[in-house]
Structure 1
């Protein structure tokens, strides 16, 4: 269930193998409860390019939720960036972000316990996440370049696929340093090629009908 560029090159596919495409974006419900600061994100997106702040969306994922792995290093590393808004999504309803004693939340950071990826990503310039294939798929279907971390479950393999496809930088670590995270985010913001490639992958993903493929293949097994 992916598009060809998201799979590493190989020559031993079985003859009946086919790509089904990534799962499509989910529509956000009309009555979805957005964070109290959401209007700021929407308003920012309507500003002229030279006035608009870039938006970094950082998330920990839903399996391994140690916020010291990705979220805290990201918000600390970008704390002095007045040209950015950092959306930090904790990945679990009711979750709280605990800072060190005496540490204040940077003024450019907006935190929420839970937010649909497909609600946040259309307003995002860089998606920094400790996540697996689900996170990669969301980034691709929204045309957003990514910084991918993680070394458990499928995360190393997934991050390398994102990097090979040209839409992501793989950090190759479950606990990347603050410097590596910020360096990768800056690299994507400074190189329009990542965004161009992400948009090309989104267009390719839109050409597939993955749910139809699943239905067809399941029905074929019953014949």
Structure 2
């Protein structure tokens, strides 16, 4: 574009989850690099690396950070979902207060919020400031063209599929609305913003929804909400060197990894190590949310709590993981097929989409056994072509730079007007 760029003040608010902060960080860093003043309220333990990127980072209200999702205690999938929503709504009043304070102290040109920050969404809408929301995981905006979000159902084409999908969305929507919509609308009334007809409308409200995946990995829909922008995955790894021992490993390598946010998935690591102990592969396992000391380590494996995944993915034949979006998209971006042992949360959905795209296999946790895992891994290793197709789509996606372009365009719009759609508005 011609002329001098307008320098804007941008406020960003995340939820207390690294899997939501890390995809946003490179976008904020890019905006800061372009000379904008970028402030983020986030996890107290993550502020230093953000500051090193030129971002003004503040700790979020500790009361928000204390409210961690406890869905791993749940007996079934629906109870787990309910615990997640409950946690997000418990945080909401603190988020509303925090954004209120920030905006009163300094009115920014743009607000960025996390899709799971339901209170932040209320405050952003009430402020009248141009507002973008980001989602690092697959959307549960309903459509009769796609299976209901959660259980990882197989896509079904044709009229029967549409009827099944519509019925399931109605059922799940009814249940969630019955439990939570009144409370959410109470917060919205207090803030004098329009009430929602369904909790799924959270996806429609922001002026822009930065959707951090590619169409090639998503189920096709004839129409997406007008505010969606597919920016592709945005990954940020705190800089790290390749470990020395990696070069010494000969032959095929498999990365086995669990969730960073604790979800009681030790069994995934244990079964993975046992299942592959006699196979002709070397297993690198990162236990993340789980203490590595509890595992017996076979001769063909190395177990650490955390390792930089990028250098391992350069060498890996396949990844076995819980299906979190971070590792799933990082593997696919490197062209590495994924064997997902879907544990819960959004993980069955990401695993099913990977399978539908021909880039890997989904093995739901209920079916996890050493034999089945070996079979699933063999099948995943045959999916390199599909993984390569997704990798090419991800390499061509707008990424952090394209997302920053989109946000810059929003920041120059006066409040009350809807922003134009630059960035290949291919929605």
1:128 paired to 2:316: no
Q: Is the 8 A contact 2:257 2:322 kept in 1?
A: yes
The number of residues matched between the two structures is 201
Are residue 116 (structure 1) and residue 308 (structure 2) matched? Answer: yes
Q: C-alpha separation between the residues in 2 aligned to 1:135 and 1:33?
A: 17
Moved over 4 A (4+): 24-28
SS state at 2:409 partner? helix
Q: Distance in 2 between matches of 1:195 and 1:16?
A: 33
Corresponding residue SS for 1:206: helix
Partner of 2:287: 90
Q: Is the 8 A contact 2:242 2:311 kept in 1?
A: no
Supply the distance in 2 between the matched residues of 1:92 and 1:120 (Cα, whole angstroms). 19
1:3-42 equivalences under 5 Å are: 3-24=214-235, 26=237, 28-29=239-240, 32=241, 34=243, 38-39=244-245, 41-42=246-247
CA contact (8 A) 1:23 1:211 kept: yes
| SS of the residue 2:283 aligns to | strand
- Structure 1 residues 65 and 24 mapped into 2: Cα distance closer, same or farther (>3 Å)? closer
Deviates more, 1:113-122 or 1:71-80: 113-122
Contact 1:149 1:174 in 2 (8 A): no
- 1:16-70 alpha-carbon deviations (Å, 9 max, x no partner): 54321121565843xx373xxx42x3234xxxxxxx5211110112123535421
Q: Secondary structure at the match of 1:18?
A: strand
TM-score (norm 2): 0.44
Q: Secondary structure at the match of 1:166?
A: coil
* Residue of structure 2 equivalent to 1:58: 256
**2:329 aligned partner:** 137
The aligned runs of 1:189-204 (5 Å cut-off) are: 189=381, 191=382, 194-204=383-393
Q: Which runs of 5+ in 2 are unaligned?
A: 1-211, 414-427
Query: Counterparts of 2:262 and 2:371 in 1: how far apart (Å)?
Result: 21
Return the offset for 1:111: 1.0
Partner of residue 277 from structure 2, selected from 51, 72, 79: 79
Q: Corresponding residue for 1:184?
A: 376
Tell me how far apart the structure 1 counterparts of residues 392 and 236 of structure 2 sit (CA, whole Å).
Answer: 13
Name 1:162's counterpart in structure 2. 354
Local SS of the residue matching 1:122? helix
Does the aligned pair in 1 maintain the 2:333–2:391 contact within 8 Å?
A: yes
Contact map agreement 1:25 1:118 (CA 8 A) in 2: no
Stretch deviating more after TM superposition (213-222 or 158-167): 213-222
Q: Deviations over 1:62-102 (max 9, x none)?
A: 12353542111011111112x21011111159x32314xxx
What SS does structure 2 have at the residue aligned with 1:152?
Answer: coil
Contact kept? 1:152, 1:174, Cα under 8 Å: no
Alpha carbons of 1:131 and 1:109: their partners in 2 closer, same or farther (altered >3 Å)?
A: same
**Superposition TM-score, scaled by structure 1 size:** 0.80
Let me know the Cα RMSD of the aligned residues: 2.3
Which one scores higher on RCO, CA 8 angstroms, separation ≥ 6?
Answer: 1
Query: Within 2, Cα distance between the matches of 1:206 and 1:27?
Result: 20
Change over 3 Å in CA distance of 1:26–1:151 after alignment to 2: closer
| 1:215 corresponding residue in structure 2 | 404
Alignment match, 1:48: none
Of structures 1 and 2, the larger Rg is shown by 2
Shift of 1:212: 2.0
CA contact (8 A) 2:321 2:340 kept: yes
